[in-house]
C-alpha cells in the first residue's frame, strides 16, 4: 500500500509540473503593453506617424508604427531587460529630414516590464534650462492679425529680434538674451501639422551658457505662443540653432 501511495505521489507531482511549467516559462516574458508618445523639442506630441525601432542589447530589433498623432502601443511579448527605443530617420516627414541629420535623433532606454508610459523625445542634445529657467524672458506678443500662419510668426517674432535693449517689457525687467545679436527673418514655413521652420540670417552673438539657452528659449517660446503652432525648428544662417547653442559658435 505504501509503495502504491509513493507512485501516486510521483504521478501527482509530474502532472503538476506539466501544468505549471508552461505558465512559469510564459511568466518570464512580459506582455505588458509598451505604450507612450513621441514628442518634439518643445515636449509636445509630434503630430505625425513614424516608425519606431525597439533594439535589444545584442543589436537585434523589431519595428512598429505609431498612430498619426505620434502615440504608440506595442503589445508583442518581450523578455525582461533593457531595450532602446528610437525613431527611424527615413520615416520622418520630409520637412524634418530637411533640417535634421540621422545622428541628431534621440533614443531612450526602456526597461521591461514597463511600469509607466514612455515619452520618446525626437531630438537629442537638448540641454535642460536648469537654473536658467528662473530668468523672466522678453517674449513677443502673439499677433492677432487675420493672416496666414507664416506671417503671424513673422509679425510676432520680428519685434523681438529687432529689440536692442537688454531689458524690456512693461515693467522693464524682462531679459532679452538676443540684445547683442543682429538677426532677421529670412523665411518661415509652417507645415500641415503646425510645425514651423524658421530660417534666420545675421549674427548670433554667443554669451554665457544661460544666455545661449535663453536665446533659443526666447525664440522658440515666442513662436510656440501662436495658435496652431505645435512645434518649431530654428536655423541661423542654415545651421541649427541647437548646434550653435551647444557648441557656442
Give residues with Cβ within 8 angstroms of 128, minimum separation 6: none
Domain boundary among 99, 121, 143: 121
101 in any annotated domain: yes
Examine residue 237 and state whether it is found in any structural domain, yes or no.
yes
* pLDDT score, position 25: 39
Whether 141 is in a domain gets the answer yes
233 in a domain, yes or no?
Answer: yes
Residues 104 and 165 in one domain: no
Write down the pTM of the prediction. 0.52
Pairing of strands 239-240, 195-203: unpaired
CB count in 10 Å sphere of residue 72: 22
Identify whether 113 is preceded by a cis peptide bond (ω within 30 of 0): yes
Q: Looking at the structure, tell me whether residues 58 and 98 fall in a common domain.
A: yes
* pLDDT per 10-residue tile (average), the chain, 249 residues: 48 41 43 82 77 78 91 88 82 75 66 82 57 77 81 94 89 86 94 88 84 89 88 88 70
| Alpha-carbon gap, residue 114 to 190, rounded angstroms | 36
Domain count, the chain: 2
Encode 112-126 in three state secondary structure.
Answer: ECCCCCEEEECECCC
Residue 175 lies in a domain: yes
One domain for residues 41 and 100: yes
pLDDT (0 to 100) of residue 58: 63
Cβ atoms of residues 146 and 183 within 8 Å: no
Q: State residue 199's pLDDT score.
A: 94
CB atoms within 10 A of CB 65: 12
pLDDT of res. 147: 80
Do residue 68 and residue 177 come from a single domain? no
Q: Residue 7 domain-assigned? A: no
Same domain, 61 and 164: no
Q: What is the CATH number of the domain that holds 174?
A: 3.30.300
Within 8 A by CB and 6+ apart from 172, the residues are: none
pLDDT at position 203 is 93
Closest to 185 in 3D by CA, of 155, 158, 152: 158
- Residues 148 and 240 reside in one and the same domain: yes
pLDDT digits (tens, 9 = 90+) for 127-136: 456 557 667 8
List 221's β-bridge partners, or say none: none
**Residue 217 has which C-alpha cell?**
528659449
In eight-state DSSP terms, residue 171 is: S
75 and 141 inside one domain: no
Kindly state the cell numbers that stand for 179. 540684445
Please check whether residue 26 lies inside any domain of the structure: no
Give buried/exposed letters for 172-199 (b at 16+ CB in 10 A, else e). eebbbbbbebebebeebebbebbbbbbb
Cα–Cα distance measured from residue 55 to residue 60, given in angstroms and rounded to the nearest whole number? 6
Element (H, E) at 175: strand 174-175
Give the pLDDT confidence of 12-33 residue by residue, as tens digits. Answer: 444 434 344 444 334 445 566 7
The pLDDT value recorded for residue 104 is: 56
Same domain, 44 and 96: yes
Contact predicate 232/190, CB 8 Å:
no
Q: Where in the sequence is the domain holding 172, given as residue range(s)?
A: 130-247
Q: Which three cell numbers stand for residue 138?
A: 522678453
Amino acid at each position: 500500500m505504501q509503495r502504491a501511495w509513493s507512485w501516486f505521489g510521483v504521478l501527482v507531482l509530474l502532472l503538476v509540473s506539466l501544468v505549471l511549467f508552461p505558465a512559469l516559462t510564459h511568466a518570464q516574458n512580459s506582455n505588458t503593453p509598451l505604450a507612450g508618445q513621441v514628442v518634439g523639442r518643445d515636449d509636445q506630441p509630434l503630430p505625425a506617424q513614424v516608425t519606431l525601432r525597439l533594439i535589444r542589447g545584442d543589436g537585434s530589433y523589431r519595428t512598429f508604427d505609431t498612430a498619426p498623432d505620434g502615440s504608440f502601443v506595442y503589445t508583442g511579448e518581450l523578455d525582461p531587460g533593457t531595450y532602446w527605443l528610437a525613431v527611424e530617420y527615413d520615416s520622418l516627414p520630409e520637412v524634418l529630414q530637411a533640417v535634421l541629420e540621422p545622428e541628431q535623433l534621440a533614443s531612450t532606454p526602456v526597461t521591461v516590464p514597463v511600469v509607466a508610459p514612455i515619452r520618446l523625445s525626437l531630438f537629442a542634445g537638448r540641454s535642460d534650462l536648469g537654473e536658467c529657467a528662473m530668468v523672466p524672458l522678453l517674449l513677443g506678443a502673439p499677433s492677432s492679425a487675420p493672416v496666414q500662419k507664416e506671417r503671424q510668426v513673422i509679425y510676432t517674432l520680428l519685434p523681438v529680434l529687432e529689440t536692442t535693449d537688454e531689458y524690456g517689457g512693461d515693467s522693464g525687467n524682462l531679459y532679452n538674451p538676443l540684445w547683442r545679436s543682429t538677426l532677421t527673418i529670412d523665411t518661415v514655413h509652417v507645415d500641415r501639422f503646425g510645425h514651423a521652420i524658421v530660417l534666420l540670417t545675421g549674427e548670433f552673438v554667443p554669451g554665457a551658457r544661460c544666455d545661449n539657452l535663453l536665446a533659443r528659449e526666447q525664440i522658440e517660446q515666442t513662436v510656440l505662443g501662436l495658435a496652431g503652432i505645435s512645434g518649431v525648428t530654428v536655423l541661423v544662417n542654415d545651421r541649427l540653432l541647437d548646434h550653435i547653442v551647444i557648441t557656442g559658435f
